[in-house]
Amino acid sequence: MEHGVVIGLLGLGTVGSGVIQIVNEHQQELKHQVGCGITIGKVLVRDKDKYRESQIDQDQLTVYAEEVLNDPDIDVVIEVMGGVQQAREYILQALNNKKHVVTANKDLMALYGAELLKVAADNGCDLFYEASVAGGIPVIRGVSEGLSADRITQMMGIVNGTTNYILTKMEQDGRDYEEVLKEAQELGFAESDPTSDVEGLDAARKMAILATLGFSMNVDLEDVIVRGITTVTTEDMEYCKQLGYTLKLIGLAKRTEGRVELTVQPMLLPNSHPLAAVQDEYNAVYVYGEAVGETMFYGPGAGSLPTATAVVSDLVTVVKNLRLGVSGRTIHSPLHIKELKTDEEVDSKYFLRLQVRDETGTFDALTSLFAKEDVSFEKLLQWPLDEEEPVAEVVIITHTTNRAAYERIYKELENMDVVLDVKSSYRVEGGQV
């Protein structure tokens, strides 16, 4: 290692070029920290011609993965190509060739994290993935090391910048979802196919990674119940505001006595909650530990240099471990067996917006329904809608109830004569207003 550590890059997109930039520009600081130079060896790209003007020499580029994965000079492979199956194969090959790996790939880690970490440990290799969750925010480190002494019982994340940007603009400007989405696409904050973001899938992947780590149990992506933001309306937001809440797409992971719940969905948070102030494309992860109480990690969730910062900070740890001779020794198998909560065990408050017949008996019917399920109202608003028919809008925030009871209520509401429409329904989290 006297020649320093050589890294191979898989992919040279936004994050990859950020990594090269940081490694080149911060040579002095990096060397000071790890005690040796770090140089870029080979870089896998799809099309060499695309990078004629880039900061990397043409002869470092290759279109053959083997030239990176089998190069004996390369000590560390950085995977920033994205995608799942191909990336998985490459990383497995790298690990089996005793190369340490840093990845920014949330899709991959959410689906195959357990497998890859095991292969890494078996090969005495490091595998780090700080950049896979919340870009530049060192939250993986915060959870796995900073709070290592604590028992984490809850994590709430704004872990998708696109949806937070959309919801922020809807709330601030009173503009509707479609319009803001279009603007976000034009500004580059949303993909031309925004499905993975707006349907909550991207956030679900990050929450699966966080929960696996924070709860020390193998959480699968399919354990996360997911609902996106496409049906959120400006009316909903207006009511939230009136009641002292903000509507955010929240990834929630809760643990009670060893049983866990995982979901991504739009939720109401009281304005006093630390996450409520997280605006625009910023990300934040709120972590509740039995001993530490409330903590939050805030920062940019994406972007070339922020994400590359996380990749290179992992690289620093890899190189330190390499030089100390302790690579691969810090990977743990989970302590706990996963047990998911049942619908009866998932506790929450709910926000519910209905349109009802504005006539005698309506309220009685509603209150009987809720009383039957032993669910009481924390807040209630009702006023007439400006329509020809006698129609009233009713907004309810319930006290804490379990999901099973709430879903029975919801189903009955849809079938009740006096209820013309169930306009919207969201969970309410984050304590009292």
C-alpha–C-alpha distance, residues 169 and 158, integer Å: 15
Which two structure tokens, joined as six digits, stand for 32?
A: 């000071």
Is residue 87 within 8 A of residue 78, CB to CB? The reply is no
Closest CB 323 distance from a copy of itself, rounded Å = 8
Closest CB 59 distance from a copy of itself, rounded Å = 26
What values do phi and psi take at 232, rounded to 5? -70, 130
- The answer to whether residue 213 forms part of the interface with a copy of itself (CB under 8 A) is no
Contacts of 134 (CB under 8 A, 6+ apart): 157, 159, 206, 283, 284, 285, 297, 299, 301
Closest CB 23 distance from a copy of itself, rounded Å = 8
Site string for a copy of itself, 149-178 (x = CB under 8 A): xxx---------------------------
- The answer to whether residue 30 forms part of the interface with a copy of itself (CB under 8 A) is yes
C-alpha–C-alpha distance, residues 132 and 117, integer Å: 14
**Which of the residues 288 through 307 are near a copy of itself (CB under 8 A)?**
289-300, 303, 305-306
Exposure string for 350-378, b = 16+ CB within 10 A, e = fewer: bbbbbbbbbeeebbebbeebbeebebeeb
Binding a copy of itself by CB under 8 A: which of 46, 332, 372, 411? 332
CA angle, residues 18, 19, 23, in degrees to nearest 5: 120
Q: In angstroms, how far is CA 89 from the centroid of its own chain?
A: 24
Binding a copy of itself by CB under 8 A: which of 1, 63, 187, 324? 324
Residue closer to a copy of itself, measured from CB, 22 or 80: 22
Closest CB 53 distance from a copy of itself, rounded Å = 22
- The answer to whether residue 145 forms part of the interface with a copy of itself (CB under 8 A) is yes
- The answer to whether residue 214 forms part of the interface with a copy of itself (CB under 8 A) is no
- The answer to whether residue 147 forms part of the interface with a copy of itself (CB under 8 A) is yes
- The answer to whether residue 228 forms part of the interface with a copy of itself (CB under 8 A) is no
- The answer to whether residue 69 forms part of the interface with a copy of itself (CB under 8 A) is no
C-alpha–C-alpha distance, residues 408 and 43, integer Å: 56
Which two structure tokens, joined as six digits, stand for 129?
A: 């993935």
Instruction: Say if residue 305 carries a ligand binding annotation.
Output: no
Closest CB 348 distance from a copy of itself, rounded Å = 24
- The answer to whether residue 32 forms part of the interface with a copy of itself (CB under 8 A) is yes
Is residue 141 within 8 A of residue 128, CB to CB? The reply is no
* Catalytic entry in 42, 99, 169, 206: 206
C-alpha–C-alpha distance, residues 86 and 52, integer Å: 25
Instruction: Say if residue 367 carries a ligand binding annotation.
Output: no
Examine the residue annotation and report whether 182 is marked as an active-site residue of this protein: no
Amino acid of residue 119: V
Closest alpha carbon to 271 in 288, 248, 296, 246: 246
Is residue 311 within 8 A of residue 364, CB to CB? The reply is no
- The answer to whether residue 29 forms part of the interface with a copy of itself (CB under 8 A) is yes
Q: What amino acid positions are annotated as catalytic residues?
A: 206
Q: What is the contact surface with a copy of itself in residues (CB under 8 A)?
A: 18, 22, 26, 28-30, 32-33, 130, 136-138, 141-142, 145-151, 216, 272, 274, 277, 279, 282, 289-300, 303, 305-306, 308-313, 315-317, 320, 324-326, 329-330, 332, 335
